[in-house]
Amino acid sequence: MKTKSAYVCTACKAVSPRWQGQCPKCLAWNTLEPALQKSGPVRDFPLNRPVDLRELPTLLEDRVSSQLSGLDGILGSGFVPGGVILLGGEPGIGKSTLLLQVTASMENSGKGVVYVSGEESLSQIRSRAERLGMLGGRLTVLATNQADDILVCMEDGPALIVVDSVQTMISSSVEGLPGSVSQVRAVATALTERAKQLGVTVILVGHVTKDGQIAGPKLLEHMVDTVLYLEGDKEHLFRILRVVKNRFGPSNEILLFEMREKGMSVIEDPSTFFLQARDTALSGTALVMSMESQRPFVVEVQALVTKTFLAFPRRTALGFDANRLHLLIAVMEKRLQISLGQVDVYAKVGGGLRMKDPGLDLGIVAAILSSFYDRPLPEGAVFWGEVDLNGQIRPVTGHDVRLRQAANLGYAPMVHPKTGAKGKGWTRISDVQKMLFGQAGQG
């Protein structure tokens, strides 16, 4: 700990940061003498010591249900008392609507819940709740931007407090405007500490930047127990709730919602939800058995290959990384001996989804070949597999789960990587090309 010089008056014991001939308090002359004064907090409580975990009693978590079966599942059987959850998402994606539904459902089941809004007035919240049909039961709300008001509410012992949003709250302990780094850190720290002490579950709504990351210090995501992202395209009716971090349950889980007039509705079986109004007689479309977290579902990959009128052909990808499309086109030209240098290639994932699954590669290749030859793929064909730079089809995670789900849905043929020495499947995209298009795929 650093030390600094100070001067103490021998007459009145007053402390002065610098020497002067007269004491500023008692006005005595020549009474200031040098003294050392420690800077920093004084520790007046006992030191913590390490303990053996085996000596601690086992605590059984009495979780609180959110009254939404799907939400309880991805969180790990509901809310943990004292847990802090951070929910992020773009403006207008449905964060407030979803949390208002959870608040109303839990209060109707007899749990104490407080919905705190720093962005809307009480009349605005009432109008939205009335539009969603949530005024049939009790709904406790608070419109404030003072973190101290929330701390007082936590003293009453509710099961859940929703703070919408943390960037609009102000803590009286620090200076700064709402949304500044110091204010967000102070508000989150105060709410987290009080939640742990009182066993109250807190959900913090966080704004996101234009890059899709939660605004504010990265410490905010480290501090909370669970981080959720609500994703989706505003032009479509579905939303994806993704678990990025979870100390009390599985991570990388997803839950699909459909936006309706009365709020969010859980999609219990998303297996074929994204295949609505699909015409199997058209070329350039392929079905992919995708995996998001531990849940398999079928998505449609669409491709359009057309003659270019530009000096440099266009390559456009929607729903997945454009660099991935460039890589696959280069592999197809090299390994399949087809010329794509004089055509534009457009590819997208149907339904407005944003996918990172490496198993999407084989479906993209099949869709491009289908559009290139202008021949539709077999009606029940489904694809998954990663394509490397040598044109080989590599296995992907969740192969057995994808296989079972495809069999249950009745898809055939199933075009997937070969697993094991005696396993069924495909090893090269050239073999898949020959199987799908025969002699048309040669040269």
130-146 pLDDT per residue, tens: 988 888 888 899 999 99
> Could you give the CA distance from residue 25 to residue 298 in angstroms, rounded to a whole number?
80
Scored b (16 or more CB within 10 A) or e, 58-82 reads: eeeeebbbbbbebbbebbbebbbbb
Please report the pLDDT score of residue 2 as a whole number: 46
The pLDDT of residue 16 = 82
Place of tokens 């709402």: 178
The torsion angles phi and psi of 65, rounded to 5 degrees, stand at -75, 140
Q: Is 81 labelled a binding residue?
A: no
Which of the pair, 211 or 297, is modelled with greater confidence?
Answer: 297
pLDDT at 442: 46
Residue 249, annotated as binding a ligand:
no
How far apart are alpha carbons 314 and 347 in whole angstroms?
11
- pLDDT for 238 equals 84
DSSP result, 45-68: SPPP----GGGSPPPPP--B--S-
Do 11 and 23 touch, CB atoms closer than 8 A? yes
Q: Residue holding tokens 């999407």?
A: 360
Report whether 93 belongs to an annotated binding site: yes
Residue 92, marked binder:
yes
- Residue 90 assigned ligand-binding role: yes
Q: Is 161 annotated as a binding residue?
A: no
Q: Is the confidence at residue 440, as pLDDT, over 70?
A: no
> Given CA atoms 279, 280, 284, 289 in this order, what sign does their dihedral have?
positive
| pTM for the full predicted model | 0.75
| Residue 319 marked in a binding site | no
Q: Which residue has the higher pLDDT, 189 or 422?
A: 189
The contacts of residue 246 (CB under 8 Å, 6+ apart) are 75, 76, 225, 226, 227, 253
Give the whole-angstrom CA distance, residue 70 versus residue 66. 9
Mean pLDDT of 63-78: 86
Residue 98 confidence (pLDDT): 93
Let me know: does 79 contact 104? Beta carbons within 8 Å: no
**pLDDT-based confidence at residue 1 (cuts at 50, 70, 90):** very low
Sign of CA dihedral 86, 90, 94, 97: positive
77 marked ligand binding residue: no
pLDDT greater than 80 at residue 40:
no
The pLDDT-based confidence of 3 (bands split at 50, 70, 90) is low
Residue 25, C-beta contacts closer than 8 angstroms, at least 6 positions apart: 9, 12, 14
**Rounded average pLDDT over 395-407:** 91
Give the pLDDT mean for 19-27. Answer: 85
pLDDT tens digit sequence for 221-234: 999 999 999 988 77
Placement of tokens 């302990």 in the chain:
173
Phi, psi of 8 (to 5 degrees): -115, 135
Q: State the number of CA atoms in the 13 A half-sphere of 355 facing the CB.
A: 31
Query: Among 100, 185, 104, 114, which residue's Cα sits nearest to residue 144?
Result: 114
